[in-house]
Structure 1
């Protein structure tokens, strides 16, 4: 059987970030990835976009981010997912133990989330602390209030509120200025029912070709156990960054 598979991947990033220091306080990035697969019997594609803007001051760190994923398979919709988040870290650069606050809003066709809002606070501890920003390993925990409107295959629309424990492992390692490993992974069970949990995992591996150019592989996984829905996205592409 004759077949043709075409994969087009484009990953473009613009960064206003060197290492945060006394004269560098801002960081912006935009990424766009796409995957197209065509065979004699099937056609599918996924288009993913991500943008972030950070502010790093002496006592606080503010991160804002937004993402949008759209996908189709044989003309049928598979992804129409939007998420935006803002997180605030206080005393992150001064102490190993610091405070965080988070607000997150998302909607997802693939996860059957009509609307979901999360807001909460907690503590984080840096097990590995590097002033140059080359290495970081942080564990955080806290509580989130969540208000959601979901679509359950059996119950239909599911409007509910809950409080979740939000446990996160975050890491960043630079190996010999060539290999960069990043991860941001959440486990969020409801304090009322541990079987009602949310998993969010994003991990990337970048290999630097030049100081400003890298080959990047990224993995994103989400699960909403209340509705037994999950998605997994793997992308490959190029990262362009510039420090100033």
Structure 2
């Protein structure tokens, strides 16, 4: 079971955005995240670079989001991460209070998780248990189609597809307009393959400096049981964002 632990962070640029704070006149939101961590020790050197760009558009009845992230790291000269993810998703708001329909298309390739190529696409429904500017708690469920090219061992490569149930718990809290807590948690078991599931969870703590700049720390964990791989990333940094 492969593990990647980043122990000592170097402040560069980071963050996790769970939910944009739109208002009546704000329809667009852009966030850039770039994370760096480093550990220099007699036993060797470790570093990690994490870059992300997210664009959000919200109208009266629909929201559209596009996200790209890239994680690259080495430890003692050996590659530990070369992980890229690109996704487009939308939320469709109808007459049901605090509920909406969602759709998603997501492409991943990950050295640390032994994913050569992965396409996830599907949709479902979400319900907001709390839905206030400073307190947001949302539960969603749906079905995803998973087409993957993975390495199940160092010598075995497998191309397969399956349908997954996608259960997500998402939260966003703001205290005194200065401190933010964000979390997104996914459990995505296969509907046809036993002991085949994906776990993704992240937690972020932010301290607002200005309207467009915040100091953030985040913890992310990913596990793919089919490849018997997982990674854990601890990062510190800054978040740049703009509403317009």
Q: Check conservation: 1:172, 1:180, Cα contact below 8 A.
A: yes
Q: Which residue of structure 2 lines up, in the alignment, with residue 184 of structure 1?
A: 184
- Aligned residues, how many? 236
Q: Distance in 1 between matches of 2:149 and 2:9?
A: 35
Q: Which residue of structure 1 lines up, in the alignment, with residue 108 of structure 2?
A: 106
Deviations 1:115-147 (A, max 9, x none): 0000011010110112xx222100000100000
Going from structure 1 to structure 2, the CA distance change for 1:94 and 1:243 (only over 3 Å counts) comes to farther
Going from structure 1 to structure 2, the CA distance change for 1:23 and 1:221 (only over 3 Å counts) comes to same
| TM-score, scaled to structure 1 | 0.89
Q: Which residue of structure 2 lines up, in the alignment, with residue 116 of structure 1?
A: 118
Alignment of 1:125-144 (within 5 A): 125-130=127-132, 133-144=133-144
Q: Distance in 2 between matches of 1:147 and 1:137?
A: 30
Q: Distance in 2 between matches of 1:238 and 1:122?
A: 33
Q: Which residue of structure 2 lines up, in the alignment, with residue 53 of structure 1?
A: 55
Superposition RMSD in Å: 2.3
Going from structure 1 to structure 2, the CA distance change for 1:52 and 1:124 (only over 3 Å counts) comes to same
Q: Which residue of structure 2 lines up, in the alignment, with residue 10 of structure 1?
A: 12
Q: How far 1:93 moved relative to its partner? A: 9.2
What is the aligned counterpart of 2:75 among 66, 70, 73? Answer: 73
133-142 vs 232-241, greater mean Cα deviation: 232-241
Q: Check conservation: 1:59, 1:94, Cα contact below 8 A.
A: no
Q: Check conservation: 2:108, 2:117, Cα contact below 8 A.
A: yes
Q: Which residue of structure 2 lines up, in the alignment, with residue 34 of structure 1?
A: 36
Question: Which ranges in structure 1 are unaligned for 5 or more consecutive residues?
Answer: none
Q: Distance in 1 between matches of 2:96 and 2:58?
A: 12
Deviations 1:4-52 (A, max 9, x none): x985321168x9x984233211111111111121112201110100110
Q: Distance in 1 between matches of 2:194 and 2:205?
A: 32
Q: Distance in 1 between matches of 2:88 and 2:82?
A: 21
Q: Distance in 2 between matches of 1:124 and 1:142?
A: 9
99-108 vs 174-183, greater mean Cα deviation: 174-183
Q: Distance in 2 between matches of 1:23 and 1:239?
A: 22
Bigger relative contact order, structure 1 or 2, given CA contacts below 8 A and separation 6+?
2
Moved over 4 A (4+): none
Q: Distance in 2 between matches of 1:109 and 1:126?
A: 35
Q: Distance in 2 between matches of 1:173 and 1:59?
A: 23
Q: Check conservation: 2:187, 2:198, Cα contact below 8 A.
A: yes
